[in-house]
Every structure is written in C-alpha cells, then in structure tokens.
Chains A and B, each alone.
Chain A
Amino acid sequence: MPELILDRVTKHFKHKIAVDQVSLRLEEGVYGFLGANGAGKTTLLRMICGVLKPTSGEIRCDGAEIRKLDGEYRYLLGYLPQDFGYYPDFTAKRYLEYLAACKAVPKDISREKVQEMLRLVGLESDQRAKIRTFSGGMIRRLGIAQALLNDPEILILDEPTSGLDPKERIRFRNIISALSKGRIVILSTHIVSDVEFIADKILLMKQGQILEQGSVSEVTESVNGKVWEYLAEPEEAMRLNEAFAVSNLRNDGDKVYLRLVSDSCPCHGARQVKPGLEDVYLYYFEEVSEHVENLERRAL
C-alpha cells in the first residue's frame, strides 16, 4: 500500500497562486476534495498525477519523489481528468485496449480486463460503437473504466460524476466504495453528495489552500451551532433568503421551511440544528452547491 506525502506543494501560474503550500499525508482510503470552481483542486490533482510540475514543494510516494520514480509511479496510477480525452474515431473497446497497452497491463489479461471494465460501467453492449456517437454520460463512464483498467493503487478522479444522471451517480459511488480497500482514492468535486457518503476524509479547498480536513463528522463539527431551521411566511422567507446563506428551502403548506447558516441566530424563533456537509460547504464557500441550487430553484 503506497503512501503519498505532499510537502508544501505550491503552483504559480504567472502571477496567480493556484495551489499554496499544501501539505498532506495520504494513505489507504477515500479522500474527497471539496471546493468551489477555481479553488485549485484540479491543479493539485494534476500535480499529484505528475502532469504538472509544482513551482515549489515535493510530492513523494513511499519516500521517493514522484518525478524520480517516473514509470514506477505511473504504474500505480489511475486518472480521470476533468476534461477527459478520447480519440473519437476509436470504438470503446479499442480505446480501452489502447490504454491497457499504454498502462502496461499484461497482454494475456488485457482483453479480459477490458471486458470486465466495460461490464462494470455498463458499456458492454456499446463496445463496438465509435466514441464520437456516445452521450456525455457514456463518455464519463468510459473515463471511469479507463481509470480502473490497471487496477491502480492510487486512483485520482477529477469531477468524476459531472454529466452522470442520479442513477449513474449512485452506481459510481458504489463502485468507488467497493474499490476503496487497499487503495488511495482521491475524488475532487463541488457536489457535496458525491463524497458525503463514501469519503473517509474530506478536504475543503479554497484559494489554493486546505481550509479544513477530517472525517465528515469532524468537518461538520467546525460549523456546530451555526445552522438554523425556521418556518417562515413566504415574504419573510424571501427576505431571509437574501440576507443569509440558505442551505435548504422548501414549501411546507402555507409556510416555507428554511435551513440557514449563520454565526448568530438569524431571527426570533429559529432553532439550532445539527450541521451537515452541505451546510459546511455553504459556510466556507458562501455559495450554494449544485444540489442545493436545484432544490431552491424548484421550491421558489
């Protein structure tokens, strides 16, 4: 089981600091990187994969710098980039066979492995179709399949569920949960529900830095006493929605149920409740995650 150490890893792009002095120790388990767009998650993941060279700092795998390990390190790696690339004229099967060859999957098990992965992501019946004919969700599933082809010990998935429908998302979460034993799985997302149930450790990233890290309960503990519930009249609900960070809003008969995140009591009669990961996200990033945004839109 490899151990990854990030030692004061920094990345500058001209005058912008994308990742700022990040130090982490990653061992077996699922790590969920949560952060708004532009928080530096993708840059950090690209550095862990060895695609980007850090401006300063070091990434070590079992004590050795990953760039020095070269192919030895890449042998352990499975990566799904945010902008997943594919040759459109390839069929799904040929594409996976190509990547299996490039990942040094032994020839005798390569075909079997390709079929296994196609079955796992539900693309078995489409294996002979050209990738250019695939829908966004199918392409994403193909991406997940290629990342798992070499049975990687370090699995890095950047926004793995974007473009997947709810059923596919749940299926993906179950696949990751089942595969997490004996591996380092790093998931980056801005969708809280993607990591809430499967991540052993949540890492909140903002402006290139890790704001908070720990298990779901440890992270939610940091906003304890700052989450409130309130049943308001529709007019008052509109006012509160504009004045406070609202993590949940729904119609409840004539009234509107609100779940607010605030350092102090937002209004008379509001009741303190146990925080969830959505509340933590809202507290730190002051913006609504995709899931909550959809709920609000529906309620209003």
Chain B
Amino acid sequence: MAYGLKERNKQVKIFQDPDWRFPLNERKKLESLSYIHQETACKRIRYVPSFTEFIWNELRFQSWKHWLLQGSLLLAALCLALFLRKMEATDIETLAACSVLFVFAGNLILSSIARLFSWHMAELEQTLYVSLKQMVCIRMLEAGITDLMILAVFLGTLGGHTMDVGSSLLYMLVPFLWSDTLYLHMLVCFRNTSNFRSLGQGVLCGMMTLIPLMWESVYDPEWRGTWLLLAAAGIFLLTAEVFHIFGKIERGDNICLN
C-alpha cells in the first residue's frame, strides 16, 4: 500500500516535470524506421492528372486545322445570327440556319473521334492511362460545349420571334439527334484514314437536317406529338450508339482491325 502511494507520488512528480519524456527504446525505433524505409522504397509515387488536365491534354494536341474550322463555324454562327436579326427573318429561316450550324459544329468535333479509331492508333490508345473510352468521352463533351455555344448565340436572336423557346429547341434537337447518331455510326463502322471522307460523311449527315424544312407545315402545332416521338427515339438511338461504341472498345475485337 505504502509502496503504491510512493510510486504514484513519483509518477505525479514525473508528469509535473516539463522536461520529462518517455524513455526511448532505441532498438525499436531503429526497427520501426527501417520498416517504414522499406515500405516507402517499394512504393511507386504516382502522378495522377486531374480531370481538367485530362481535357487540356486532349485539346492541346488537336491540329490547328481543327481549331480553325471550329473557330470559323462559331464566327459564322455569330454573323448569321446577327444577319438574321437585322433582316427580321421568319421563325423557319432562323430554325433552318440554326439547325444546320448546330449539326455541323457537332459533326466537326465528332470527326475527331474517327481520328482516334484510325491510323491503327486505337489499339495503342486503349493501353494508355487515359484510355480510348475516356478520349471519346472528352471529344463528345467538346462537341456538346460547342453546340451549347451556338445554341446560346441563336437563342438570343430568337427572342423577338413568335415561336417559344421550347418548340425551337425541339425542332433543332430532333434533326441534331438523328444526324449525329447516323454520323457516329458511319464514323465507327466505316472508319478510314482520309480526313476528306469523314468530312464528306459529316456534310452528308448535316444535310439531313434540312429535310423537315421541305415541308413547312410540319412545324404546325398538330405535329408536335410526332416531333416529341422523334426526339425520344433519337435520344434512345444516340444513347444506344454511344453504348455500342463503348462496347466495341471494351471487347476490343474490332478496334485492332483498322
């Protein structure tokens, strides 16, 4: 009992002493340090690029021709929008111009997906840290952003028109969905090494957007249901096409055969 009290007093004294430290076991310290050293030596420090870096890397290696075409298209959209406003163009004229530019801008960027699948590059790109699937996603994202920019330019000009924004969007979305689905399918199925051929395919698919303009009556309210149905089918087909491309990449059977 007396021993216990003495011991406790000693411990209290020790803790009251500000210079007191737990005694170090030098052997254990060395063992632990050597274990940590071994573990760190085995570790490979990896650099993981951020999402924005991924995108930046993908964009900075695009050719100057690609950027020139894209810039020209945006400039054309802006000029056309201003011109239509000045001319007080009708709803149908504005829709026609917007639809065509909308689809062409998308197709132009999507053609860079064809490049990924050409020149025997797909097989190699599939083995890189940024995989082929991620590269395709980044290109699609780029196409989407450009389209949104064109849309924003045109929605500004549609402000004073009789057609509401929802209807305008629907009438632009349907040709866009169908044209882009067809273009994506052509790009992956008939991939080739000629830029001009993919450009030709893009132009052909872009021309498809002009088909509804041949019958102005299709923009009447009684056709709204059909437009909605076509939009739903277009969304379904485009999603299916994207999954089809991803499936192809995943299985790999066809990407080695270009």
Contact = CB atoms under 8 A, between A and B. Distances in A.
Interface residues of B, number: 30
A71 B48 CA distance: 10
Interface in A80-127: 81, 83-89, 94, 97-99, 101-106
B83 interface: no
A113 B17 CA distance: 57
Interface string B30-63: 0000000000000010111100000001001101
Interface in A223-245: none
Given A46-B123, A81-B120, A104-B48, A74 B129 contact: yes
A77 interface: yes
B124 interface: yes
A88 B115 CA distance: 11
A276 interface: no
B126 interface: yes
A106 B127 CA distance: 18
Contacts of A81: 120, 123-124, 256
B252 A46 contact: yes
B243 to A, nearest CB: 16
A102 B256 contact: no
A27 to B, nearest CB: 15
B122 A85 contact: yes
B130 A13 contact: no
A102 B56 CA distance: 11
B125 interface: yes
B47 A104 contact: yes
Interface string A43-87: 000100111110000000000000000110011010101011111
From DSSP, what is the main secondary structure of chain A's interface residues? loop
A163 to B, nearest CB: 14
A52 B252 CA distance: 5
Interface residues of A, number: 34
A106 B47 contact: yes
A74 B252 contact: no
A85 B256 contact: no
B131 interface: yes
B63 A102 contact: no
A98 B128 CA distance: 11
A106 B50 CA distance: 11
B121 interface: yes
A134 B126 CA distance: 24
B256 A71 contact: no
A62 to B, nearest CB: 12
A147 B34 CA distance: 35
Interface in B97-123: 115, 119-123
Contact of A74 (B120, B123, B127): B127
B245 to A, nearest CB: 15
Nearest to B42: A1
B251 interface: yes
A130 to B, nearest CB: 12
B128 A85 contact: no
B121 A102 contact: no
A224 to B, nearest CB: 39
Contacts of A105: 47
A150 B44 CA distance: 12
Contact of A89 (B60, B63, B126, B256): B63
Contacts of B48: 104
Contact of A85 (B49, B123, B130, B251): B123
B127 A77 contact: yes
Contact of B57 (A49, A71, A102): A102
Contacts of A99: 124, 128
B46 A51 contact: no
A79 B121 contact: no
Contact of B255 (A51, A94, A101): A51
Contacts of A97: 61
Contacts of B124: 79, 81, 84-85, 99, 146
Interface of B: 44, 46-49, 57, 60-61, 63, 115, 119-131, 135, 250-253, 255-256
19 contacts: A46-B123, A50-B127, A51-B126, A51-B255, A52-B253, A53-B251, A77-B127, A83-B256, A84-B124, A85-B119, A85-B121, A85-B125, A86-B120, A86-B121, A98-B61, A101-B57, A102-B130, A103-B130, A104-B47
